[in-house]
Structure 1
Amino acid sequence: MPRLIRFMLTRLATGFAIGCVVGFLVWPNDALTSGAMSGRVENYIAQGLFIYLFASTISMGYLATALLLEAE
């Protein structure tokens, strides 16, 4: 595998993992523990989409920052 592709895939995967963790921590977890909202599929879909969108944004920012710092 060429070095640039390996570089991009590792940076995207690392950024996505960081974004998933941060997105899960940012999501208001107390909203899902109330009796009226727990167990509804819509809430889990919303949480999954929020975490995915947060993680994809962080991964692109992580890749852009890594490319900027490595291009010396």
Structure 2
Amino acid sequence: MPLMIRFMLTRLATGFAIGCAVGFVVWQNGFLSSSYTAGELENCLAQGLFIYFFASTISMGYLATALLLESE
């Protein structure tokens, strides 16, 4: 695999993992209300979409920062 593709996939995957963890923590600490019911489909879908969009944003930022700081 060419080095640039490996570099990009590694940084995207790392950023996505960081974003998933942070998105989960933000959802659990910031968006729960007293009327939250854990089994509703809408709540599970909303949480999954929030974590996915948060993680995809963080992964693109992580890749852009890594490309900016890479000096070869």
Q: Same fold (TM over 0.5)?
A: yes
Percent of aligned pairs sharing the same letter: 75
| TM-score normalised per structure 2 | 0.87
Aligned-partner SS, 1:20: helix
Deviating above 6 A after TM superposition, structure 1's stretches of 4 or more consecutive aligned residues are none
Question: Given residue 4 of structure 2, which amino acid in structure 1 is its aligned partner?
Answer: L
- 1:16 Cα deviation (Å)? 0.1
Q: Distance in 1 between matches of 2:43 and 2:71?
A: 42
2:64 matched residue in structure 1: 64
Q: Distance in 1 between matches of 2:42 and 2:3?
A: 41
- 1:40 Cα deviation (Å)? 0.2
2:40 matched residue in structure 1: 40
> Contact between 2:19 and 2:59, CA under 8 Å: does it hold in 1?
yes
CA-based RMSD: 1.9
Gaps of 5+ in 1: none
Gaps of 5+ in 2: none
| TM-score normalised per structure 1 | 0.87
